[in-house]
């Protein structure tokens, strides 16, 4: 699509409606709703069955998914569809006939892969292989659940001995996928944080203590203001990361990704805190967002990313 009048926020609104529609449905039903609304092919070229939009559209769409607590591998579907665009498997993912998960640590050569979610329902799992990656038939490997962080949507470890490869990605294609992954997961985390902030703001405005709403308390107002500041910083950083500078040079995504994950953890943790005892309950759904963002944090080892940013800065100075 090349219509300049299209605005990312309009797509985000439509995506939000689709995600709301998918809420409460089974994995297969969610897949059908999201595919029908074109969400898996947002960053896939039109001639390859997608919407032909760039990552600036992907950011608000995925952010809405984070905000609405979509518990589905939307980012993974978008990434694998984009990486395998033009191939039958890519088309099947865009159309929702097939689904893919991604294991972010381990490799085919090591014989195992970890930090994957939604594996139990997926048809394929993407794992690192050499400098590139291999898309495996999920049924051909042995899968183990790790429910310690999230019993509802656990992380998985895969034993890859004898796993069947159905497609491969070159080193260049895998590097591109990882760049997009950091942008989109960063946006998902920023959206999750924004959703938590909105819930906290609503609760603070309605919860009366000592005759006034909690939002009247300066300590609460200032904490909320910091949450807003970090939310805006995350979005601004991600949009900047995908834009070229004045000289046409691409930018690195690591600082924007690490910033978004760190900011989101802070915001969600504060939102839980501001809800008091209610924040510690299972009933209040903030913990879903915290689990989701911490899974991304673990998958990419954000602390290690920050350290590598520092090392790179030192080397370049």
Partner 1 sequence: MTYNIEVAHPDPATSRSAYRAHAREWLRANLPSSMRADSVDYKTPSLNECRDWEEAMYRAGLAGMTWPKEYGGYGLTLREHLAVNKEIGALMMPESVGSVGKELAGPIIMAVGTEEQKQEFLPKILAMKNYWCQGFSEPEAGSDLVRLRTRAVEENGNWRINGQKIWTSGAMKADYCLLLTRTGTVADKHKGLLMFAVPMNTHGIRVVPIKSIDGKESFAEVFFDDVVVPDSARLGKPDEGWSAAIRVLSIERATNRMYRPWRFEAELKMLVAAFKSDPELAKLLEDGYYQRRIGQIATEIDGLKGLIEQAVDQMAGGAPIGARGSLNKLFWSETHQAFATFAYEMVSQIKPTASAEALRAKKHFTTAYLFARAESIYAGVSEVQLDIIAQRILNLPKDL
Q: How far is the CB of 267 from partner 1 (least distance, A)?
A: 13
CB of 16 to partner 1, least distance (A): 21
Which helix or strand (DSSP H or E) is residue 293 part of? helix 286-300
Whether residue 103 contacts residue 113, with contact meaning beta carbons closer than 8 Å, is answered with yes
User: Nearest CA to 106 among 124, 81, 126?
Assistant: 126
Write down the least CB distance from residue 250 to partner 1, Å. 14
Binding residues with partner 1: total (CB under 8 A): 46
Using the rule CB under 8 A, is 232 a contact of partner 1?
yes
Question: Nearest approach, Cβ of 202 to partner 1 (angstroms)?
Answer: 10
Query: Mask: binding to partner 1, 248-267, rule CB under 8 A, as x and -?
Result: x------xx-xx--x-----
Answer yes or no whether residue 6 interacts with partner 1 by CB under 8 A. Answer: no
Q: How many CB atoms lie within 10 A of CB 219?
A: 9
**Taking CB under 8 A as the rule, does residue 280 contact partner 1?**
no
Assess 311 for contact with partner 1 (CB under 8 A): yes
Q: Which of 146, 221, 250, 273 touches partner 1 by CB under 8 A?
A: 221
CA-CA distance, 228 to 232, in Å (whole number)?
Answer: 6
The total of other beta-carbon atoms located within 10 Å of residue 298's CB is: 16
Q: What is the DSSP string of 17-79?
A: HHHHHHTTS-HHHHHHHHHHTTGGGTTS-GGGTS----HHHHHHHHHHHHHTT--S-HHHHHH
Contact mark string toward partner 1, 136..175, x via CB under 8 A: ----------------------------------------
Query: What would the two tokens of residue 75 be?
Result: 């980012």
Q: Near partner 1 by CB under 8 A, which window of 6-14, 84-92, 171-179, 246-254?
A: 246-254
HSE-CB for 192 with a 13 A CA cutoff: 33
Residues that bind partner 1 (CB under 8 A): 201, 204-205, 208, 212-213, 215-216, 218, 221-222, 224-226, 228-229, 232-241, 243, 246-248, 255-256, 258-259, 262, 303, 305-311, 313-314, 317
């Amino acid at each position: 699509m090349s219509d300049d009048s299209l605005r990312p926020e309009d797509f985000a609104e439509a995506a939000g409606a689709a995600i709301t529609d998918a809420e409460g449905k089974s994995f297969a039903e969610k897949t059908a709703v999201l595919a029908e609304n074109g969400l898996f092919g947002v960053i896939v070229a039109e001639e390859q069955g997608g919407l032909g939009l760039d990552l600036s559209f992907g950011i608000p769409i995925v952010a809405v998914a984070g905000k609405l607590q979509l518990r589905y591998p939307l980012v993974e579907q978008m990434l694998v569809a984009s990486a395998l665009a033009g191939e039958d498997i890519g088309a099947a993912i865009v159309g929702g006939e097939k689904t893919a998960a991604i294991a972010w640590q381990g490799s085919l050569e090591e014989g195992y892969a970890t930090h994957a979610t939604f594996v139990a329902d997926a048809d394929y799992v993407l794992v690192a292989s050499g400098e590139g990656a291999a898309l495996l038939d999920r049924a051909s490997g042995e899968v183990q659940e790790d429910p310690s962080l999230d019993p509802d949507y656990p992380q998985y470890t895969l034993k890859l001995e004898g796993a069947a490869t159905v497609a491969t990605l070159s080193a260049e294609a895998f590097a591109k996928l990882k760049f997009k992954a950091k942008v989109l997961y960063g946006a998902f985390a920023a959206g999750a944080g924004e959703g938590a902030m909105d819930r906290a703001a609503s609760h603070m405005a309605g919860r009366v203590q000592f005759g006034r709403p909690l939002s009247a308390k300066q300590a609460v107002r200032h904490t909320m203001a910091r949450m807003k500041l970090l939310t805006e910083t995350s979005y601004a950083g991600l949009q900047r990361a995908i834009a070229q500078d004045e000289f046409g040079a691409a930018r690195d995504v690591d600082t924007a990704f690490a910033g978004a994950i760190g900011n989101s953890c802070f915001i969600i943790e504060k939102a839980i805190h501001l809800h008091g005892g209610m924040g510690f309950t299972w009933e209040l759904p903030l913990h879903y967002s915290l689990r989701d963002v911490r899974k991304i944090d673990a998958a990419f080892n954000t602390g290690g990313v920050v350290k590598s940013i520092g090392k790179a800065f030192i080397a370049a100075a």
